[in-house]
Amino acid sequence: MTSSIDLWIVAGQSNTNGRIKLSKQRPSWLPTSNIVPNVKCFNLYKNKFELWQYSDNSDLANNNEDKWAYDSTAIYQYSKLVNKEQYVIKHSLGGSSIGVNPPAGKGQWNCNYHLTTVPLLKELEDKYYDAIALLNKQNKSFILRGVLWHQGESDSNSPENEHDYYNNLDAVILKIRTFTEHNNLPFIFATIPKKSQQFSALINRAHFKLAKKKYSYLVDLKDGTTFDGIHFDSATAEKLGNDMLKYMIKIRKRE
């Protein structure tokens, strides 16, 4: 009998999407092949889980840009600690808000899909169903371990979206737990660095308020740094990955 697969969901906007160029700031652990060892990412267009390789399939589909994000640091190191291959379903888009007053970017994460220009949460839901259908077809059992999320910068550009952020993100978390049929699904997320040009005290408070709810785990990036005023530099991306890893380990020990 084969053991179950560890599965993770990763979602958010540009700092989850990845904006750090490998050619300028590589993560210390990433091999020169740009393959994230022992981690497979779901490729929607090929309908398969394949080795996660930056400059190839590290984003929504076949991403040819040499950019990386914090999530691979966390999941790669987790795979080493548990000595087990990890599977990832990732969906992210730069500049995307949750709020729709007004909607920001080319897509939004709002639960009211009909109010969005592109319903990113619905796309994530559909991608999840496709990935699970594939695993079932292959007779592979899985354990959905949790969600890694970073987002919120784009909601800071509108007073209405700032005000609605707590309720909006709370609804997103509930929606993900609903379509995955996992009421206690761990949600690991992070604040926006205070040095970011898009830092919002109101959104920051919303993050901390949400962190008080069950199965929610917050990394405070108050001292985080960026390379352009908005996007994480290498040190902050690796720190976030390392801090998320601590929660991932803690959650596993409680099981």
- The predicted structure's pLDDT at residue 253: 80
Report how far apart, in Å, the C-alpha atoms of 222 and of each of 31, 40, 163, 191, 200 are: 30, 31, 20, 7, 11
Distance CA 33, CA 108 (A): 33
Distance CA 222, CA 251 (A): 23
Q: Is the predicted pLDDT of residue 154 greater than 60, yes or no?
A: yes
- The predicted structure's pLDDT at residue 157: 96
State the average pLDDT over residues 200-218: 98
Beta carbons within 8 Å of 241's beta carbon, 6+ residues apart = 27, 70, 71, 72, 73, 74, 77
- Whether 79 contacts 86, CB under 8 Å: yes
Q: How many CB atoms are closer than 10 A to CB 194?
A: 13
Distance CA 253, CA 73 (A): 20
Beta carbons within 8 Å of 130's beta carbon, 6+ residues apart = 42, 44, 47
- Whether 215 contacts 171, CB under 8 Å: no
C-alpha neighbours within 13 Å on the C-beta side of residue 123: 19
* Residue-by-residue DSSP string for 116-150: SSSBHHHHHHHHHHHHHHHHHHTT--EEEEEEEEE
Q: Is the predicted pLDDT of residue 2 greater than 80, yes or no?
A: no
Q: What share of the chain is helix, strand, coil (3-state, %, to 5)?
A: 40, 25, 40
For 89-129, write each residue's pLDDT tens digit: 999 999 999 999 999 999 999 999 999 999 999 999 999 99
Residue of 99 and 253 predicted with greater confidence = 99
Q: Which two tokens stand for residue 139?
A: 């007779």
What structural domains and CATH numbers belong to the chain? Answer: 5-254 (3.40.50.1110)
Distance CA 240, CA 222 (A): 11
Distance CA 3, CA 180 (A): 20
Q: What is the mean pLDDT of the chain?
A: 93
Beta carbons within 8 Å of 239's beta carbon, 6+ residues apart = 221, 224
Give 61's pLDDT tier (boundaries 50, 70, 90): very low
User: What percentage of the chain carries pLDDT values higher than 70?
Assistant: 95
- Sign of the Cα torsion 255, 123, 245, 188 reads negative
- Whether 29 contacts 73, CB under 8 Å: yes
